[in-house]
Structure 1
């Protein structure tokens, strides 16, 4: 029994060690903040933490945004498919949108932020990231692999806006909403 407990404890310690602490990211009252002195890598990790695994924990996304933060998807084909949205403003609306989308997508994982392309802009607090994600379409079990470019604005240590550009063709094809003609 003692060996089993020790092995379990070591396993927990190993799992905790695999999630490296970032001194520039803190949690306060269930919300997450960047601390002064952050850099582009801290912002990339912060944004990645907000997105990664949202299909299983959709409420997590909003915890990284300001109270009136905006998550925009300018290329979302809302005219033809109402379950998409071009923007969600405020934590409650953001959570509602990601909760609704989690009915369609599962096991959504974003590429490790360390491998993202990161661009610091001339405008303070504005960053550009290029990255990928992969997951499963719940209805069909098929793969969903997407590429993104996001413009992220940080204000008061949280995300004030994230404008995520992605390929709507990939989404429509993988969701089975369109198909190739040849």
Structure 2
């Protein structure tokens, strides 16, 4: 399968892969020197992952912790830089360990280079994972 060329198409494809729990496919969308940042990460959680291998180590167990069912609201905004998009979205599903609902709103700033994700700044709400009902039980930590 060829990689979509526009940043918006690449991002939409990445969401489909996450819903399909195809983490290897999702990782294939990343540049080797890609950077994944979590500016609002709570204490003890990673703030920055440098390189595809670090991102892979973080993401491989993701489906064991969060069972994503849908991204019911996704808005992709183009910027003056054709390789940068800003995404507003909501992800819903279940926390695997507890069966509790997962409902998270995100804003992401994504930079693409040569059809691969180079930079992804994920502005998610850390308060949602600090509440006992939505504890990730170590997901991504």
TM-score (norm 1): 0.64
Contact 1:110 1:131 in 2 (8 A): no
Q: CA deviation at 1:74?
A: 1.4
Query: Larger strand proportion, structure 1 or 2?
Result: 2
Contact 1:68 1:91 in 2 (8 A): yes
What is the aligned partner in structure 2 of residue 166 from structure 1? 124
Which secondary structure does the structure 2 equivalent of 1:97 belong to? helix
Runs of 4+ in 1 over 6 A off after TM superposition: none
Match of 2:28 among 63, 68, 72: 63
Q: CA deviation at 1:110?
A: 4.0
**Cα RMSD (Å):** 2.3
Query: Larger helix proportion, structure 1 or 2?
Result: 1
Structure scoring higher RCO (CA < 8 A, sep ≥ 6) equals 2
Contact 1:59 1:98 in 2 (8 A): no
Which secondary structure does the structure 2 equivalent of 1:135 belong to? strand
Contact 2:17 2:23 in 1 (8 A): no
Q: 1:151 to 1:108 in 2, by over 3 A?
A: same
Match of 2:52 among 86, 91, 99: 91
Contact 1:118 1:128 in 2 (8 A): yes
Output aligned runs, 1:17-32, within 5 Å.
Answer: 26-27=1-2
TM-score (norm 2): 0.80
Q: 1:153 to 1:39 in 2, by over 3 A?
A: closer
Aligned residues: 135
Rg (Cα) greater in structure: 1
Distance 1:68 1:134 in 2: 29
Contact 1:70 1:162 in 2 (8 A): yes
Instruction: Could you tell me which runs of 5 or more consecutive residues in structure 2 were left unpaired when the two chains were aligned.
Output: none
Contact 2:7 2:84 in 1 (8 A): no
